[in-house]
Amino acid sequence: MPAEAVYDRDGQIQGGRMERYDVIVIGGGLVGSAIAYGLVRARLRVALLDEGDVAFRASRGNFGLVWVQSKGDGAPHYQRWTRLSADEWPALAAELEAKTGIAVGHQRPGGVHLCLGEAEIEARHAMMERLRVQSGNLGFEYRMLDRRELTDMLPGLGPAVSGASWTPYDGHANPLSLLHALHKGFAANGGRYLPNSTVTEAGAAPGDFRIPLAGSEISAPKVVLAAGLGNADLARHFGLSAPVKPLKGQILVTERAQQVLPMPITTIRQTVEGSIMLGDSQEDAGFDTSQRPAVMQTIARRAVLSFPWLRDLQIVRAWAALRVMPPDGLPIYDQSERFPGAFTANCHSGVTLAGAHANLFAPMVAAGTVDPALEPLSSKRFDVSAAA
């Protein structure tokens, strides 16, 4: 530890070149900024590090669902974590708007997953039942809707749609506004944002982490790895493991139209501004971010089967992005056993879990202990020999 030193308001040692914080968060995407926001709200001094503009940024490829109904089949701890996060969302959205003036467009009208054909309905119904049974005393309210009920709820439903599952827990928000609001709220609460600060090496000891940056150094007794795909490499410096891989997703965006969809569908949602987003593709393409017309056609075709009137809308924007996928699709949360004070957070659903990250996980980092309820989401679960 450094000898007695004089610190200025920004944590800068007078005359020195080291900055000291309570927590360093590596990665300023939806996961890192949500955790960092929760930490500064708890009055901690936080440095939030980002790479440069050229980086694999999963946050810009997010569809915007705050989705509960499809999560955690066979993993009741994840179902619970998702539900807790969705329940934190309204308060987080309201707080962010009050604090930053940015409306993240969160709506929670419930959501539907459309089924085309009887086989899909049966499979979906079976899954909903499993989720209900696995939810235990948390409970899981859902309804299977037949075509007649659906046509009352959703205008212009295509003849190929047989029914759907619905829960009241689902909603959506604008992921870009969310990222903007989290960063603005972070800065408003005294957080220090350090862009163009790629981390390639670090000094690590229990409760003592030092990161060299452009000729100087920052240090803190705690560090949180929230670098998405970058966590896979970073983790080893901190006695952690984050075996995540890229999964490419593509999205199509239509011209703005007057509001016609009253609730989000798993693969189709209308934004507050009127654009209709079409998505849900998954490609295992390594780190290739190019768009593929065949995938875009599949997205468009499935969307038009659900709502034929989509056919007349023009697509004004389309993109592909690499999203983060852990080996079993479930999030990874850990505190390093070798270097206590080092935490890692990885997930696929950065928008849905923003509520939990800001309001539940950040307090765990502040307290220095990951809640035992998250133990099943530790990376230890991938160590087959340990589990056997």
| Residues in contact with other proteins by the rule CB under 8 A | 155-156, 255-258, 260, 273-274, 307-309, 311-314, 316
Nearest distance, CB of residue 196 and other proteins, angstroms: 28
Q: Residue 13 class from Cβ within 10 Å (0-12 exposed, 13-18 middle, 19+ buried)?
A: middle
Nearest distance, CB of residue 144 and other proteins, angstroms: 23
Q: Do the beta carbons of residue 154 and residue 261 sit within 8 Å?
A: yes
Considering beta carbons, is residue 27 or 105 the nearer one to other proteins? 105
Considering beta carbons, is residue 207 or 308 the nearer one to other proteins? 308
Nearest distance, CB of residue 215 and other proteins, angstroms: 40
Q: Residue 308 class from Cβ within 10 Å (0-12 exposed, 13-18 middle, 19+ buried)?
A: middle
Nearest distance, CB of residue 313 and other proteins, angstroms: 7
Phi then psi dihedrals of residue 53, to 5 deg: -65, -30
Nearest distance, CB of residue 122 and other proteins, angstroms: 28
Considering beta carbons, is residue 198 or 275 the nearer one to other proteins? 275
Output DSSP code: residue 357.
Answer: I
**Rounded Cα gap, residues 242 and 255, in angstroms:** 39
Considering beta carbons, is residue 157 or 218 the nearer one to other proteins? 157
Enumerate residues 6+ apart whose C-beta is below 8 A from 347. Answer: 31, 324, 326, 331, 332, 353
Considering beta carbons, is residue 290 or 314 the nearer one to other proteins? 314
Neighbouring-strand partners of residue 277: 253, 269
Residues 295, 297, 302, 303, CA torsion sign: positive
**Rounded Cα gap, residues 152 and 154, in angstroms:** 6
Radius of gyration of the chain (CA): 22
Amino acid at 8: D
Residues 96, 97, 100, 102, CA torsion sign: positive
Q: Which residue has the tokens 């049966």?
A: 122
**Rounded Cα gap, residues 288 and 115, in angstroms:** 31
Nearest distance, CB of residue 159 and other proteins, angstroms: 9
Closest residue by Cα to residue 331 from 56, 149, 75, 33: 75
Nearest distance, CB of residue 308 and other proteins, angstroms: 5
Considering beta carbons, is residue 155 or 327 the nearer one to other proteins? 155
Considering beta carbons, is residue 276 or 296 the nearer one to other proteins? 276
Nearest distance, CB of residue 261 and other proteins, angstroms: 9
* Both tokens assigned to 58: 């999963």
Considering beta carbons, is residue 317 or 338 the nearer one to other proteins? 317
